[in-house]
Amino acid sequence: MEKFFDMTLLILEGAEVTLEIFFVTLILSLPIGALAALGRISSFAPLRYLMEFYVWIMRGTPLMLQLLFVYFALPMVGIMLPDVAAALLAFTLNYAAYFAEIFRAGIQAIPRGQYEAAKALGLKHWQMMRYIIFPQVLRVVLPPISNETINLVKDTSLIYILAMNDLLRVARTIVQREFDMTPFVIAGIFYLAMTAVLTWIFKKLEQRYGSYET
């Protein structure tokens, strides 16, 4: 029992890195994704094409490749980033692209009559988006954002390739040292617990914002 407790404490230390990557990525990628979505539907063609290209690159290449590119390629051109910053840059750019497509689809799902009604009321564009469109978009995009957020929990395990002592890397190190699979079980419990908490949070959010449908 004491050995199990010691393993759990070590793995929780690695979980701090995992949680840091998760929360910072989520906080940064959601607003960036929303802005990129607005760029994707912009009437300004150069901006629209630039955002389309960005989304195509980020969604069309593996996240692991993007991590390796940021970590190894940027130093070759004189851009040196700490391990955590490199991981956050790759994760944020990747997930912002996915969130951009989710927000874009949500915005375009709103009937054109909503836009016309807002213009008829004399609202400015930012007022229309802030008070009319985005509250409705939020209800539409919550389920796919929930799925992407849960995927982010699992994708954080990829940072082991940068030799960062995250949850999974610490667990694997203990397994190799102790020849005991228990750390993998503990790691699995952590991921499942975090997923369960996120599922509960998004369920509550969907219940709250779904009330606008009635």
pLDDT of residue 2: 67
| Pick from 46-50, 125-129, 136-140: least confident | 125-129
Residue 212 pLDDT > 60, yes or no?
A: no
Confidence of residue 172 (pLDDT cuts 50, 70, 90): confident
Average pLDDT rounded to a whole number, residues 31-60: 94
pLDDT of residue 214: 43
Whole-angstrom Cα distance, residue 203 to residue 198? Answer: 8
Chain segment 48-107, per-residue pLDDT in tens:
999 999 999 999 999 999 999 999 988 888 888 888 999 999 999 999 999 999 999 998
pTM: 0.87
Residue 10 pLDDT > 90, yes or no?
A: no
> Could you give the percent of the chain with pLDDT greater than 70?
97
Whole-angstrom Cα distance, residue 155 to residue 164? Answer: 14
Whole-angstrom Cα distance, residue 21 to residue 92? Answer: 9
Q: What is the dihedral of CA 154, 158, 160, 164, to 10 degrees?
A: -80
Q: Note whether 100 and 30 are within 8 A (CB).
A: no
Residue 179 backbone zone (phi > 0: left; psi -120 to 50: alpha; other: beta): left
Mean pLDDT taken over the chain: 88
Residue-range domain boundaries for the chain: 2-213
pLDDT of residue 39: 93
Residue 6 pLDDT > 80, yes or no?
A: no
Average pLDDT rounded to a whole number, residues 118-129: 81
Fold of the domain spanning 2-213: MetI-like fold (1.10.3720)
